Amino acid sequence: MPEDASGKESHFKFWLGIAIVPSLIAAAAIIAQFVIAPLQEVRGEKEKQAEEARQLSKKGALHVKVEESWNNDTDITWLFYKPLSREGVEEFNKLPVSSFEGIKKFAESHSGQRVGFHCTGATCDASKTRFKLRLTGHRQRPVQITQMSARIIKKSEPPRGARIDGPSAGLEDVQAGIVFLDSEDLRLKALREDGTIGRPLFDEKFVYVERGEPVVFEIFAASRSSAFEWEIQLDLLVEGKAERLTVRSDGTPNGKPFRTPGRIHSPSRYGVYGSCEITSPVATCKAAKVG
């Protein structure tokens, strides 16, 4: 090839390189900006979510809190497995009616268990314990509650040692779910306004618990026969998988069971009966041995 032709070809390649290289660099920058960077961002976000899911999975799918939910106007009865001593009766007789907290403190210091009456029609012989169950989601996706039931741990005779009634101050209207511990079906059911029992609560609606968002259930547990120790069992759907969560009175799976003392007898069936009546500003509570 002639020397001048070779020089022209080299000269052409030189200028061609100068023209193409910036274009390639620009194209690479565009690819990096609009293709690679978004892919890296997506991958980084997925890794972040995966790590977050791993951290969340170290704890239960739901954060659980249990707290008593008594109505001080209507839930004014305490039952005792043992009769009050003579000193206990004398102490009770000195309590002022106006001090509900004083009555409550007295009952708790003598191992009394607080109850409410559950009435069906004109019959009011079932004891009722009540509490709020607060559930907060602890997963990236909502946790579905598919069923809530009671599981009986222990069954015994209802207490007949003593019964005391504080002063009643009215009625209540509350929406709640209820489980009858002495029935064959231990699922949580709807409680109608007239005190009758409806369908299982979770047969009628779907309940989802979002991450960080609390859902609160008002729960009554009733028995018109035996005393029961029991726990709650929650059937869950967690990220597509079925799980079961056990809840006891302290919100954990292994704490003290819930307790519901069973049938509330007439006052004459107890070793000691006491009551507080609001008849005057200076009225006091009175108790005496009856059994």
Q: Contact 159/170 with Cβ under 8 angstroms?
A: no
CB atoms near residue 203 (< 10 Å): 12
How far apart CA 227 and CA 245 sit, in angstroms, is 24
The H or E element containing residue 289 is strand 286-289
Q: Which residue has the tokens 């006491």?
A: 274
Beta strand spans in the chain (E): 62-68, 77-80, 113-120, 123-137, 143-156, 162-165, 177-180, 189-191, 197-200, 207-209, 214-223, 227-238, 241-247, 258-260, 272-275, 286-289
pTM above 0.85, yes or no: no
Domain ranges, ordered by start, for the chain? 1-58, 62-289
Structure tokens at 188: 């949580």
Beta strand spans in 3-122 (E): 62-68, 77-80, 113-120
Residue in 251, 219, 255, 261 with CA at minimum distance from that of residue 113: 261
How far apart CA 181 and CA 187 sit, in angstroms, is 9
From first to last of the 291 residues of the chain, give the pLDDT tens digit.
555 555 555 554 545 455 565 665 666 666 656 666 566 565 665 555 554 445 545 578 999 999 999 888 788 899 999 989 999 999 998 887 667 788 889 999 999 999 998 887 777 888 999 999 999 998 889 999 999 999 999 999 999 999 999 877 655 555 579 999 999 999 999 887 776 788 898 887 789 999 988 999 999 999 999 999 999 999 999 988 999 999 999 999 999 999 999 999 899 899 999 988 765 555 578 888 876
The H or E element containing residue 219 is strand 214-223
Q: Contact 236/256 with Cβ under 8 angstroms?
A: no
